[in-house]
Structure 1
Amino acid sequence: MVISHHNETLNGTVLSACHEGAAIEGFCRGPSISDPLAYGVHFYFNTSASNTNPKAADVPGVLSYDAVFGDNMTVPSAMSLVPDFTSNVAVPIIYPNPDQYNEVYFDKNDEMYVLSFRDDTVDPPVSKETKFKQWFVCQTYYSYTYTTLAWVIGKNAKPQNPTCQKVQVQRIWG
């Protein structure tokens, strides 16, 4: 579910898989969480076998999706952040390759974040774990133009894309 402190119309909406290419999906702005859940809004958080608590906080994992094609063929897919080297906005894309992914985490409030292990804003760089929640909803282009989830690259950076609106992504247990 998307939480926005600045745009009430984004608040309480879900992310829905949307077509970005052959067997490739994006995270488009979907219906309200109160609407009946439709196809493409169920994602999974896969963690290591050593994690026996599926609701544990601060555990690395892979955001995945079971894409269904043709005659009910299910293809495991995983999220990767795709940078655009002319922008500081990366688009999370779901590829039909469960071995190609970026790990994410969920905190005790079930909000998604990316963990940084290094601070390179100082000289010399130092080891330092920091949680970043640089999620936005923006009009993006991967293969098509959609309003999607996006990640802003750089520590505490502001998106150069003027359509971006700051959000938190909260996991909802279904």
Structure 2
Amino acid sequence: MKFTTNLAALALAGLASAQYDQASKPFQLVLQSKDKTVNGQKLAACHVGAAIESLCLTETASPSKPDPIKPVAFRFNTSSNAGGEPPAWGILTYDLPAQPVIPSSVEFWIDPIANFALPLLYPGSGSGSQSLVFDEKDLLAVQGYVDYSVNPPKAGNTTEFYRWYACPTYYAGYQYPALTWALGEGKPETPGCAKVDVKRVFV
């Protein structure tokens, strides 16, 4: 669905103060790819720090995860105050098993020397949570309304972007094959990355 520039800007500005109080039914995230080694794999939550998890692939071995692990259930939280037309902005959430359970949401962590962002699950759903959408095919996307490929950059209609890759990753000493987000149109520079779409499958 396309929005005018002013409406899109207002909606994006409102995300900072939105309360994501509407949780979806649980679902798994399944990768779709032309690369047969990752196609059909599901995502799990892999430990990378105190109550911090990366979105790792369940079947691919790595130094920090030598054996297959089970996928986990995620939810998509939207705001009851958001209004507007679908697809609705929201945040990807996960309940980290602990005593008590730790609600977590995805934020994009960026290393300034890399050309991709690493989606990580951090405790809570604060202002750093990455706003995302699921399209009509249940594919996960990031929306934007500025075209940075022209000079000067031009604001226009809201567009869905699908710059997901499965890559070998390194964070705080942990090494996992995990979901990443390319910063720009180019492929992440790390060898072994595979282009993927991320599909929501309700459980």
- Using the size of structure 1 for normalisation, the TM-score is 0.86
Instruction: Check conservation: 1:62, 1:78, Cα contact below 8 A.
Output: yes
Q: CA deviation at 1:51?
A: 6.8
Question: Is 1:167 aligned to 2:186, yes or no?
Answer: no
2:111 maps to 84
1:152 maps to 182
Q: Give the unaligned 5+ runs of structure 1.
A: none
Q: CA deviation at 1:31?
A: 4.7
Once the two structures are superposed, residues 72-106 of structure 1 have per-residue CA deviations (whole angstroms, 9 ceiling, x without a partner) of 31111110111111010111000012113101111
Percentage identity across aligned positions? 37
2:74 maps to 43
Distance 1:15 1:170 in 2: 10
Secondary structure of residue in 2 paired with 1:141: strand
Segments of 4+ moved more than 4 angstroms: none
Q: CA deviation at 1:109?
A: 0.5
Distance 1:147 1:63 in 2: 19
Structure that is richer in helix per residue:
2
Alignment-mate amino acid for residue 164 of structure 1: C
Secondary structure of residue in 2 paired with 1:19: strand
Secondary structure of residue in 1 paired with 2:42: strand
Instruction: Check conservation: 1:77, 1:98, Cα contact below 8 A.
Output: yes
Q: Give the unaligned 5+ runs of structure 2.
A: 1-29, 61-68
Distance 2:191 2:38 in 1: 16
RMSD over aligned CA atoms reads 2.0
- Using the size of structure 2 for normalisation, the TM-score is 0.74
Distance 1:10 1:45 in 2: 23
Question: Is 1:14 aligned to 2:45, yes or no?
Answer: no
Instruction: Check conservation: 1:89, 1:161, Cα contact below 8 A.
Output: no
Secondary structure of residue in 2 paired with 1:49: coil
Distance 1:82 1:134, change over 3 A: same
Distance 2:198 2:44 in 1: 13
Secondary structure of residue in 2 paired with 1:13: coil
2:16 maps to none
Alignment-mate amino acid for residue 122 of structure 1: V
Secondary structure of residue in 2 paired with 1:115: strand
Instruction: Check conservation: 1:25, 1:95, Cα contact below 8 A.
Output: yes
Distance 1:51 1:124 in 2: 30
2:102 maps to 75
Distance 1:57 1:106, change over 3 A: farther
Question: Is 1:93 aligned to 2:123, yes or no?
Answer: no
Distance 1:104 1:131, change over 3 A: same
Higher relative contact order (CA 8 A, sep 6+): 2
Distance 1:157 1:130 in 2: 18
Question: Is 1:114 aligned to 2:142, yes or no?
Answer: yes
Secondary structure of residue in 2 paired with 1:58: coil
Secondary structure of residue in 1 paired with 2:178: strand
2:163 maps to 134
Q: CA deviation at 1:126?
A: 1.4
